[in-house]
Structure 1
Amino acid sequence: MDSNNLSPLRKGVVGIQFLFVAFGATVLVPLLVGLDPSTALFTAGIGTLIFHLVTKGKVPIFLGSSFAFIAPIIKATELYGLPGTLSGMMGVALVYFLMSALVKWQGIRFIDRLFPPIVIGPVIMLIGLSLAGTGVNMAKDNWILALLSLITAILVSIRARGLFKLIPIFCGIIVGYVAALLFFDVDLSGVRDAAWFSLPPFTFPAFSWEPILYMMPVAIAPVIEHIGDVYVVNTVAKKDFVKDPGLHRTLLGDGLACFVAGFLGGPPVTTYSEVTGAMSLTKVTNPQVIRIAAVTAIIFSVIGKVSALLRSIPSAVLGGIMLLLFGTIACAGVTNLINCAVDLSRTRNIIIFSLTLTVGIGGAVLTWGNFSLSGIGLAAIVGVLLNLLLPQEKA
């Protein structure tokens, strides 16, 4: 299908379809970390438009809430409060800016040297494993709803066809929520009281270096995810976006989107492979369609009752979805190692893999004055340093 020749109506319909593919994951992140889902929708839409502006409107990519930052946001909010954490989320953009400059200067080889699969694999695994306990605790509130949501998501992932196969999160939440409305008590007073139209509740950051340094290392995994997704989009669209407009521009656009998201009170954003999958199915790769999805997300964000409805979803429903989702993220880390043929029989690789995982899962904390670093961020730094310092083994 020549997506450039689509009628305006067809572009609009496909754009809305693309948004619904990304909708479940985009609103799930803020619901888990205590941010407002309407703000996340707004910043995802604005961030996507900023990305398209920086990349000259050539790259068909949608930016949505990043799962990599769920655990760090929860912990940073405990340590520094929400305004301080938001400044940390803005600081994530500095990593993207740095990587953009390095790619412009040295090309992609430098990134490959700094972040090889043996570093990225265990870091991605940690994103899922570090959140497993949260999913179980939320599911315990009502195992019936949790299992119903989980089973629905599994069935959609296995049995569904077409675009439905790309929205197991969305389907699981809908089925679980409907069951909660029919058989359990759900507080809908917030939905009744909410205005039909209202701006999202923006929360602005309070500048502090501690949360910025705490959050920045976490950006390593989304940066690598970004690079991989751009290459996948190249394949789907049959164009070379690494050269035109350039990988440095896509990284810069993603970084600016993260900066604006943190400034307005939304979670950091990242490239959404679900939307890339939808493009592959529909054969529609026109960037205009992605921009329509972004504008639609902004429109949804100013409908007050949508935000109130999302906040009324029982935690058990979300917990059931998380049981599958976070395990899937951990599995993606394993898949990365397998696809890149990482040899785990080599002592060097075993050391990097083992220490990265144990530092991240074991709760290691690096403290210096008022500053502390732990979890995924500390594990990522450990992995990068070990990769740079340990001598290469002879084959």
Structure 2
Amino acid sequence: MSDSNLAPTDYNFQVKDCFLGAQMLFVAFGALVLVPLLTGLDPNVALFTAGLGTLVFQIITRGKVPIFLASSFAFIAPIIYGVKTWGIPGTMCGLAAAGVLYMLLSLLVRIQGNDIIKRVLPPVVTGPVIMVIGLILAPVAVYMAMGKTGDGAIVLYPQAKAMTISLLALATTILVSILGKGVFKLIPILCGIVVGYIIALIFGFVDFSGIAKASWFAVPNFVMPEWNLQAIFFIVPIAIAPAIEHFGDVVAIGGVTGKDYLKDPGIQNTMLGDGVATSLASFLGGPPNTTYSEVTGAVALTKVFNPAIMTWAAIAAILLAFVGKLGAILQTIPVPVMGGIMLLLFGAIMVIGLNTLVRSGDDLMEARNLSIVALILIFGIGGMSFSAGQFQLQGIGLAGILGVVLNLVLPHGKKE
């Protein structure tokens, strides 16, 4: 008798969880698909690897943290460069290695404790590295907002109309992020894309021919990595910044739920989960995964702290990955719409790096700190490169390694 009375209650609870999970995916959706659309990867693969990565993360952390993992913005610049230079398979090799770096850092934390990461990768290193990522991408955003390809070589749309679309998409994103209420405040990117898409429709910039050709059910276009040492040395240093951000994300979700996830399940396990999810995504042709602050905001808004909700979000992402027409629809979004969003997005990445330095409280005019920050920025933005035979380091990768080395070898001043 009691079992039959409980059954409907359990069923209703599961249905409720399912809808809550779908809502979490909706919050993450705009940012999740933006990365593959900007970098030339398959958005359906990104959906699949986000869902799979989240499930793997939950297994490794024993289902204790209500976090959703999806496409990382920090890797947009290296993926764009990598796809252009080595193709998608070679780039995936470097991205898989970035996941391995996370795993090594988790092992280091397991052996030495949480403070070892702060000593090796302090804000004076991670802050300017994050800034370099945003600043290097700035020309790509401007070109696309003007209706050109990312390198500015080809004009795709008339500049005046393209800028109208991009600036309206940008304005919408900003206004929703500032004035939005409830769930709308969590999806400013998605709102900006929708408004930009509508204006692009009015201008006749949207081509629907690919949607008709696409089937309803289709296996995502998975791509296996190919060994490429240059891609590894180029991309791995870039993983330093998001690895540090991972600490902040775990602390943030802990602040929302009132639990200390640094101790249980432990930062070593959350970072391991992030690393395995990133490498797994790369082995399927998807972008690296990272913890999504949008979803953390949704958790705070809804007060739903049950990590099982993220299981449903992950399942929803995996199911949507096999809807062929969804990917075709996403591919119809014109370049100026993406460019408008990128103007804010890449600027925000730079500001995050700047804020990392400001919040650290370090005296940037102290000779040691000035040298580290200045050289990271100039080497990264200026495009400094170093090569020896087939080995080559440049841009963000070189700047990241330089910062780590300088932090370890330069003596501290008397004040410090």
Would you call these one fold, judging by a TM-score over 0.5? yes
Separation in structure 1 between the aligned mates of residue 205 and residue 243 of structure 2, nearest angstrom: 42
Read off the aligned partner of 2:22 and give its amino acid letter. I
* 1:8-31: CA deviation from partner (whole Å, max 9, x where unpaired): 233222212211211111111111
Q: Alignment partner for residue 86 of structure 1, among 69, 86, 92?
A: 92
User: Retained in 1: the 8 A contact 2:166–2:340?
Assistant: yes
Output the TM-score relative to the length of structure 2: 0.92
| Count of aligned pairs between the two proteins | 392
* 1:234-267: CA deviation from partner (whole Å, max 9, x where unpaired): 1111112111111111111111111111110001
User: Retained in 2: the 8 A contact 1:145–1:320?
Assistant: yes
Residue 126 of structure 1, CA deviation? 1.3
What does residue 273 of structure 1 align with?
A: 293
1:1-395 correspondence runs (5 A): 7-141=13-147, 142-395=162-415
Read off the aligned partner of 1:112 and give its amino acid letter. K
Q: 1:384 to 1:303 in 2, by over 3 A?
A: same
Residue 5 of structure 1, CA deviation? 12
* 1:339-382: CA deviation from partner (whole Å, max 9, x where unpaired): 22122231211111111111110001111211211121111111
Read off the aligned partner of 1:253 and give its amino acid letter. G
Read off the aligned partner of 1:77 and give its amino acid letter. V
Aligned CA RMSD, in angstroms, stands at 1.5
Q: 1:323 to 1:303 in 2, by over 3 A?
A: same
Structure 2: stretches of 5+ with no match in the other structure: 1-9, 148-161
Separation in structure 1 between the aligned mates of residue 340 and residue 228 of structure 2, nearest angstrom: 35
Task: Please state whether the residue corresponding to 1:207 is helix, strand or coil.
Answer: coil
Task: Please state whether the residue corresponding to 1:264 is helix, strand or coil.
Answer: coil
Separation in structure 1 between the aligned mates of residue 371 and residue 182 of structure 2, nearest angstrom: 42
Separation in structure 1 between the aligned mates of residue 120 and residue 232 of structure 2, nearest angstrom: 21
User: Retained in 1: the 8 A contact 2:106–2:268?
Assistant: yes
Q: Which runs of 4+ in 1 moved over 3 A?
A: none
User: Retained in 2: the 8 A contact 1:85–1:211?
Assistant: yes
* 1:258-307: CA deviation from partner (whole Å, max 9, x where unpaired): 11111100011111111111111111121111111111111111111110
Separation in structure 1 between the aligned mates of residue 396 and residue 230 of structure 2, nearest angstrom: 16
Query: After the TM superposition, which of the residue ranges 44-53 and 229-238 deviates more from structure 2?
Result: 229-238
User: Retained in 1: the 8 A contact 2:233–2:397?
Assistant: no
Task: Please state whether the residue corresponding to 2:70 is helix, strand or coil.
Answer: strand
Separation in structure 1 between the aligned mates of residue 25 and residue 105 of structure 2, nearest angstrom: 28
Separation in structure 2 between the aligned mates of residue 177 and residue 147 of structure 1, nearest angstrom: 12
Output the TM-score relative to the length of structure 1: 0.96
User: Retained in 1: the 8 A contact 2:205–2:334?
Assistant: no
Residue 46 of structure 1, CA deviation? 0.4
Residue 6 of structure 1, CA deviation? 8.9
Separation in structure 1 between the aligned mates of residue 68 and residue 409 of structure 2, nearest angstrom: 37
Residue 323 of structure 1, CA deviation? 0.4
Task: Please state whether the residue corresponding to 2:361 is helix, strand or coil.
Answer: coil
Separation in structure 2 between the aligned mates of residue 370 and residue 75 of structure 1, nearest angstrom: 17
User: Retained in 2: the 8 A contact 1:360–1:374?
Assistant: yes
Separation in structure 1 between the aligned mates of residue 383 and residue 408 of structure 2, nearest angstrom: 23
User: Retained in 2: the 8 A contact 1:72–1:375?
Assistant: no
Separation in structure 2 between the aligned mates of residue 264 and residue 232 of structure 1, nearest angstrom: 30
Separation in structure 1 between the aligned mates of residue 133 and residue 337 of structure 2, nearest angstrom: 21
Task: Please state whether the residue corresponding to 1:29 is helix, strand or coil.
Answer: helix
Structure 1: stretches of 5+ with no match in the other structure: none
Separation in structure 2 between the aligned mates of residue 103 and residue 177 of structure 1, nearest angstrom: 45
